[in-house]
Structure 1
Amino acid sequence: MSGPFDDIRNLIRSMPEADAEAAAAVAERDATLTKPAGSLGRLEDLAAWCAAWQGKAPPSFDRPLVCVFAGSHGVTKKGVSAFPDAVNRQMLDNFAAGGAAINQLCSAYGLGFKVFDLALDMPTADITEGPALDERACVATMAFGMEAVAAGTDCLGLGEMGIGNTTIAAALYAALFGGDPAHWVGRGTGVDGEGLSRKVAAVEAALACHAGHLSDPLEVLRSLGGREIAAMVGAILAARLQRVPVVIDGYVSTAAAAILHALDPSALDHCVAGHLSAEGAHAEVLERLGLKPLVSLGLRLGEGSGAALAMSLIKGAVACHSGMATFAQAGVSVRSGA
């Protein structure tokens, strides 16, 4: 008998591949533009990547969207965060009022912005005592996250907000990658030494509690994840199915990507890492996932801030590719022979 997780596995099996013809068309045009070959470095790669996943050349950047997924976590009662749970609702109000960093970044770079409230007043179960979600609730939350691309977008940035969710991310990484649980635990929003010890203890307790259910990545998500992470898994998958390139934010957002990568390493081919977080283990996670961050600015805010900054670079890459004159159009002499 099939269950809700089987529907997710079926979607993963139906993921489209990159459009090689669109990428080739970008490369062909790039060779004619008024610049030395390769002189725009990774911007040239980003233009080709956008085209390959949008399935068109030139690529577009007309309807970019940053989505922030907000969830709350029962594990916070273990004292794993420097901030109280009340901040969750307060920050959603701040997003709505336009007062957060992500509001300013989206406004500065012409990015759309949407917040998903994932039952913020109903925390998931404490992962040190039981599973965060049951299978049906987990899949329903993933389906809710799939709505991120429902209104149409040509580039999706993913961010999150949720007190305690760096503990959740650390538990997910420890379950997926193994090793000393303390290796994956950082200071998050700035916990002191005692708070860090409580985070490590919580991750260790969660892994022990769910030791018999961590061989399947979807069971890892259900047992240890938060609603915001489950929703981001759904958003990444839906974007792939709809041929939308994705920019992943920091340490917590990358945990959602790690779940999909564990299910199918090719599931992230349409994704780029927006930035390298200041959270210690993020560099190793990105290396394991084969993602090279676009910027490294010491950020550890979350809420899509690094994704938004990276999307400004993608916007520039698409503009250069689409708007630059060719040598013939500009009357500029081409390079002579060697």
Structure 2
Amino acid sequence: MSSGPIHVAVLTSVHPHDDVRIFHKEALSLAQAGYRVTLLNPEFSGEKQGVRFLRVPVRQGRMGRIAFSWRRYADAALEQHPDICHLHDPELLPAVFPLKRRGILTVYDAHEDLPLQIRGKPWIPSPIRPGLAWGAGTALVRMARSCDLVFCATELIAGRFSGNTNSVIPLHNYPTLAEFLPVPSVPRERAVCYAGALSPDRGLFQMIGAARAAKAPLYLAGRFETRALEEDICHMPGVAYLGVLGRKELACLYGRCAAGLAVLHPTPAYREALPIKLLEYLAAGLPAITSDFPAWRTLLAGTDCARFVDPLDETALTSSIRELTGNLSLSSALGERGRALIGERYCWEREREQLLRGYRELLQNKQSGR
């Protein structure tokens, strides 16, 4: 172990360097708790808020990245001489073996349910999806057995790993309440917004059509799935594309709208996912119009803070947009209830203790020789 602060190398070959879960929540929480954190990523070198970033270039193309990134990241991590390596992508799991041979503790962070994701990937031929999903899930769990600790974004994901590793801890990707402080002086517009990945399966065309039918401006923020899609959407009337926004800019956007949209299509992965965008809207005091999935209804049970719709029913979505943009008092009341719910149950300020507890137990087990 280091003689000074425990050194944690955080590895991602897929996510942006400022990913919300990886940087804003986990890396910053570790740094604030006294760990020395180096974040290896594919795009940026520098330092932010006590976290050091190191760029590790990856091959272009999905298959080349998957096949070769783990070795490049393993070598780069070993050069940093960390005490702990925290891996965030399935393709990096083979790096666990050379890292452990050097006595480095390894942590895997399962953001998504990989088998469910594969079942919903349109670029994978549908006849082979079930077999590929099973094979990928089996390989993932087997490789994760070598990790000292596994964090999982949902209980469903944790269930895949339980009994196969030394320790499995659910670590929900809840919003940081302090990031979304309401600004009372900002008047609400009769507009709706969506921030996140911009793609058809996330309801992009339903949102545009429904907002237009409701005569409500639609603000979009995030990255488009393709350049062609971006060029098509940005010229549509009634749509304002704001680009990729920082956390402060997002909070300002949420503060001025009447509702946030999260109408993801009913793919296997989305139906069971923790709806982070939905929770962020509520944290900002913004009511949500969201997909009517049973798991999402259960999440908000007992609190009237959202409107649930069939994500493929543009007429129902239009009706909910009209309701909340046409009654800003109702919008504010629902938003206040939603923010209170997040503070009571679903905020990172509470959840971060799970992260720190996992690290404490990991180090205690190392010291005791377990």
Q: Normalised by the size of structure 1, how large is the TM-score?
A: 0.32
User: Larger % of strand: which?
Assistant: 2
- Report which structure shows greater RCO (CA 8 Å, sep ≥6): 1
- Bigger fraction of residues in helix: 1
TM-score for the superposition, normalised by structure 2:
0.30
